[in-house]
């Protein structure tokens, strides 16, 4: 009986051992699954002024994060522990510095931390101090140079311009180099003072950190033999026309020059009793008139010819010399409606013929040929309007013709 019990006990032990061997591998695998390291965070850094911001998406199952910073000994040292619910960290730093970080996530199991691998973060703070403009010089009627103090830490510069010291500044150029610290502005009008501001910037992975603007500096008016000043002639000038003249009235101002202008109009507007009354009231015996209109209805050249034959004698009777300006070319020789330069040339041909038929005191201004020699600059995305610089060029052409 005792022998039989011993055999049963041994069998039981063997069976238990066998069952335990079947159970243990699965249990070990389950334990290993529970303590698998979390994914490493995908962190990205940005900066504003001297503050660094690090952002990342929450890592599933992470208990928390650890951030390490590269110190002056060129080694990464523990910097901060972060809770698992946090996905953004803002750190105060210094201007003109690049910071390097490493970040990892961890899961805590039975009091022990299981770590992910590290991700790397590089952040450049903004350049400082503010960018100082060292000089401005206007060497041509339509261009000038702005120079500023170089910042070797910057990745580039942005240049802003305004027509008033405390006005609305618009960005006119971006320099993508720290070594370039001057820009030529080629879109200037002769009789105007401009003001500039510059700021440096540094680039991060998907953001830009901007330095502060320095004090604005002016670029003064330019005067040459084509300067649009009426002084010395003893006479004034009235310019009449459509949107091209309206732009001119905004950009080109001189003592003795006045405007009557409106957008999207043509012969019906010009020949109306209201406009004729305004023109005759402005002609005071010491004022000449320059009319630049027709692009909106150039195929009405016969109506323009008939109108001028009626109106010009009235203008001359008021003591005015009369200048009829031809139409300038379209961008690429064609406007957005399929009209071509040949249509403008036909209008100009009739306009010149009309001017010649009206006798002394009337002159045709061949703007088409003048712009062809000078080159034409248009407003961006437009086929029939001119830039500020070219409008200023046309303005000086008109004034040179009437002197």
- The pTM for the full model equals 0.50
User: What are 132-154's pLDDT values in tens digits?
Assistant: 998 888 766 678 889 999 898 99
User: What are 218-229's pLDDT values in tens digits?
Assistant: 987 765 444 444
Tell me, what's the pLDDT at 186?
83
Tell me, what's the pLDDT at 332?
62
User: What are 230-288's pLDDT values in tens digits?
Assistant: 444 578 999 999 999 999 998 888 888 999 999 999 999 999 999 999 999 999 999 99
pLDDT averaged over the chain? 85
Tell me, what's the pLDDT at 233?
58
43 or 8: which leads in pLDDT: 43
Q: Which candidate, 170, 153, 152, 148, places its Cα nearest to that of 161?
A: 170
Give the neighbor-by-neighbor strand order of the sheet with 88-92: 44-48, 51-55, 88-92
Give residue 391's pLDDT band: very low, low, confident or very high (50, 70, 90): confident
Torsion (CA) 135, 138, 142, 143 in degrees, nearest 10: -40
Distance of CA 377 to the CA centre of its chain: 18
Tell me, what's the pLDDT at 372?
79
Angular region, 116: left φ>0, alpha ψ -120 to 50, beta rest = beta
Report whether pLDDT(164) > 80. Answer: yes
Burial (CB < 10 A; 0-12, 13-18, 19+), residue 177, is: exposed
- DSSP percent split of the chain into helix, strand, coil, nearest 5: 30, 30, 35
Q: What tokens appear for 195 in the block?
A: 């003001």
Report whether pLDDT(2) > 50. Answer: no
Tell me, what's the pLDDT at 368?
87
3-class secondary-structure state, position 356: helix
What value does the mean pLDDT take over residues 4-8?
44
pLDDT cut 90: percent of the chain above it? 60
In the DSSP assignment, the letter for residue 74 is S
250 or 201: which leads in pLDDT: 201
Report whether pLDDT(191) > 70. Answer: yes
Domains within the chain, CATH numbers bracketed: 44-124 (2.60.40.10), 133-219 (2.60.40.10), 236-402 (3.40.50.1110)
Are 175 and 201 within 8 A, CB to CB?
Answer: no
**89 to each of 80, 81, 84, how far by Cα in Å?**
10, 11, 12
Q: What tokens appear for 60 in the block?
A: 């599933």
CB count within 10 Å of CB 387 equals 18
Q: Which candidate, 277, 280, 279, 275, places its Cα nearest to that of 262?
A: 275
Task: Give the dihedral sign, CA 176/178/182/188.
Answer: positive
Tell me, what's the pLDDT at 255?
84
Tell me, what's the pLDDT at 11?
46
Least confident of 200-214, 234-248, 333-347: 333-347
Are 234 and 246 within 8 A, CB to CB?
Answer: no
């Amino acid at each position: 009986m005792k022998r039989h019990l011993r055999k049963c006990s041994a069998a039981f032990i063997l069976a238990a051992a066998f069952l335990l061997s079947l159970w243990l591998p699965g249990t070990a695998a389950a334990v290993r699954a529970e303590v698998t390291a979390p994914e490493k965070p995908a962190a990205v850094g940005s900066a504003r002024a001297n503050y660094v911001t690090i952002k990342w998406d929450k890592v599933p199952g992470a208990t928390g994060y650890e951030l390490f910073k590269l110190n002056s000994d060129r080694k990464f040292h523990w910097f901060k522990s972060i809770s698992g619910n946090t996905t953004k960290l803002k750190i105060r730093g210094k201007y003109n510095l690049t910071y390097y970080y490493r970040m990892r996530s961890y899961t805590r199991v039975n009091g022990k931390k299981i770590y992910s691998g590290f991700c790397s973060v590089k952040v450049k703070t903004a350049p400082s101090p503010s960018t100082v403009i060292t000089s401005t010089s206007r060497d041509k009627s339509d261009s000038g140079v702005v120079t500023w103090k170089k910042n070797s830490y910057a990745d580039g510069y942005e240049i802003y311009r305004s027509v008033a010291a405390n006005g609305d500044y618009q960005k006119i150029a971006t320099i993508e180099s720290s070594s370039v610290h001057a820009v030529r502005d080629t879109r200037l009008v002769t009789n105007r003072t401009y003001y500039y501001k510059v700021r440096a910037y540094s680039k991060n992975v998907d953001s830009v950190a901007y330095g502060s603007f320095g004090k604005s500096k002016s670029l003064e008016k330019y005067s040459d033999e084509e300067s649009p000043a009426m002084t010395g002639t003893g006479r004034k000038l009235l310019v009449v026309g459509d949107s091209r003249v309206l732009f001119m009235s905004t950009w080109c101002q001189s003592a003795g020059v006045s405007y009557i202008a409106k957008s999207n109009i043509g012969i019906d507007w010009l020949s109306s009793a209201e406009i004729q009354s305004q023109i005759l009231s402005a002609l005071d015996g010491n004022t000449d008139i320059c009319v630049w209109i027709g692009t909106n209805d150039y195929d009405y050249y016969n109506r323009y010819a008939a109108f001028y034959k009626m109106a010009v004698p009235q203008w001359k009777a008021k003591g005015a010399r009369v200048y009829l300006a031809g139409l300038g070319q379209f961008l690429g020789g064609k406007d957005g409606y399929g009209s071509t330069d040949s249509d403008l040339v036909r209008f100009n041909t009739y306009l010149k013929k009309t001017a010649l038929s009206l006798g002394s005191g009337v002159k045709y201004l061949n703007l088409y040929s003048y712009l062809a020699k000078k080159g034409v600059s248009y407003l961006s995305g437009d086929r029939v309007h001119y830039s500020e610089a070219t409008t200023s060029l046309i303005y000086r052409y008109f004034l040179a013709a009437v002197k």
